[in-house]
């Protein structure tokens, strides 16, 4: 709002101003407003008024926005954003040579709050997704020729399927189906063949060779 009260009676000394982070937040909101709603360059100076003063005043002589000290409290952040949008609209009116209208300025303040809420919600959603991706394990692909690539097995067609082998190893014994499969594989093979030795060693805890006859 525009006030005809002498600002000198309302201004707080710098020693009573809130932490500089609150001024930085207000300037970020003003920059956001200028980016999304256009207009002249937003005021780059923020001052603070006593609590008995108005919520905000646009000082057209210094191109500065003065804010009530009560708005510096975190619980009044929404009202702070609305007030910034309100006074920013008065700045536009002054630059355009128009009269100050509080109705239009209040609408501009509420619109700024709505836009800011949408922006921050999207920002936090993106940050949460980024943290989730950063915490996920990195799986390195195996390229041909890598030392991680399994060695070729010329008799792979005679081996148990990988799924069956993993399941049997996890259970610590061969199922009856696996025993029958192993028996079929061993029939007709050289007993000294490498594949047979591996299968026998793998199933030695639970396989009785006589069961397959």
Instruction: Give a yes or no: residue 94 inside a domain.
Output: yes
* Domain C-terminal end among 79, 104, 123: 123
Q: Which domain holds residue 185?
A: 156-212
Are 106 and 192 in a shared domain? no
C-alpha 186/C-alpha 189 separation (Å) is 5
Are 113 and 15 in a shared domain? yes
Are 89 and 170 in a shared domain? no
Q: Is 65 helix (H, G, I), strand (E, B) or coil?
A: strand
> Residue 12 is encoded by which pair of tokens?
């707080």
Instruction: Give a yes or no: residue 100 inside a domain.
Output: yes
Q: Are 106 and 86 in contact (CB under 8 A)?
A: yes
Average pLDDT, the chain: 74
**Tens digits of per-residue pLDDT, 182-206?**
555 445 444 444 544 554 454 444 4
Q: Is 201 helix (H, G, I), strand (E, B) or coil?
A: helix
C-alpha 68/C-alpha 79 separation (Å) is 11
Cα 110 to Cα 2, 84, 179: the distances in Å are 18, 10, 75
Secondary structure string (H, E, C) spanning 105-163: HHHHHHHHHHHHHHHHHHHHHHHHHHHHHHHCCCCCCCCCCCCCCCCCCCCHHHCCCHH
**Tens digits of per-residue pLDDT, 124-136?**
888 888 888 888 7
The whole-number pLDDT of residue 1 equals: 47
Are 105 and 175 in a shared domain? no
Are 22 and 95 in a shared domain? yes
C-alpha 119/C-alpha 107 separation (Å) is 18
Instruction: Give a yes or no: residue 188 inside a domain.
Output: yes
Are 89 and 161 in a shared domain? no
Domain containing residue 76: CATH number: 3.30.2010
Which tops the pLDDT comparison, 42 or 5? 42
Are 171 and 72 in a shared domain? no
Instruction: Give a yes or no: residue 1 inside a domain.
Output: no
Q: Are 112 and 37 in contact (CB under 8 A)?
A: yes
Rounded average pLDDT over 39-43: 77
Are 166 and 95 in a shared domain? no
Are 20 and 117 in a shared domain? yes
Q: What is the pTM of this model?
A: 0.59
Instruction: Give a yes or no: residue 18 inside a domain.
Output: yes
Instruction: Give a yes or no: residue 133 inside a domain.
Output: no
**Tens digits of per-residue pLDDT, 60-100?**
888 899 999 999 999 999 999 999 999 999 988 898 888 88
Q: Which residues pair with 46 in a beta bridge?
A: 65
HSE-CB at 75 with a 13 A cutoff on CA atoms is 1
Number of domains in the chain: 2
Are 100 and 161 in a shared domain? no
* Domain C-terminal end among 123, 143, 169: 123
Are 33 and 109 in a shared domain? yes
The whole-number pLDDT of residue 38 equals: 74
The whole-number pLDDT of residue 200 equals: 47
């Amino acid at each position: 709002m525009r006030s005809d009260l002498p600002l000198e009676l309302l201004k707080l000394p710098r020693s009573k101003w809130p932490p500089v982070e609150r001024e930085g937040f207000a300037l970020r909101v003003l920059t956001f407003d200028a980016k999304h709603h256009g207009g002249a360059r937003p005021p780059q100076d923020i001052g603070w008024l006593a609590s008995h003063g108005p919520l905000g005043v646009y000082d057209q002589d210094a191109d500065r926005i003065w804010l009530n000290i009560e708005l510096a409290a975190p619980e009044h952040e929404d009202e702070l954003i609305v007030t910034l949008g309100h006074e920013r609209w008065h700045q536009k009116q002054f630059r355009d040579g128009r009269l100050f209208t509080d109705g239009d300025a209040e609408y501009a303040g509420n619109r700024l709050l709505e836009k800011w809420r949408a922006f921050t919600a999207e920002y936090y959603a993106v940050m949460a997704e980024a943290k989730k991706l950063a915490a996920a394990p990195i799986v390195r692909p195996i390229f041909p020729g890598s030392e991680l690539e399994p060695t070729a097995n010329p008799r792979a067609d005679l081996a148990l399927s990988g799924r069956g082998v993993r399941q049997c190893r996890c259970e610590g014994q061969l199922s009856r189906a696996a025993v029958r499969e192993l028996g079929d594989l061993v029939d007709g093979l050289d007993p000294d063949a490498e594949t047979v030795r591996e299968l026998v060693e793998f199933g030695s805890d639970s396989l009785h060779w006589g069961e397959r006859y």
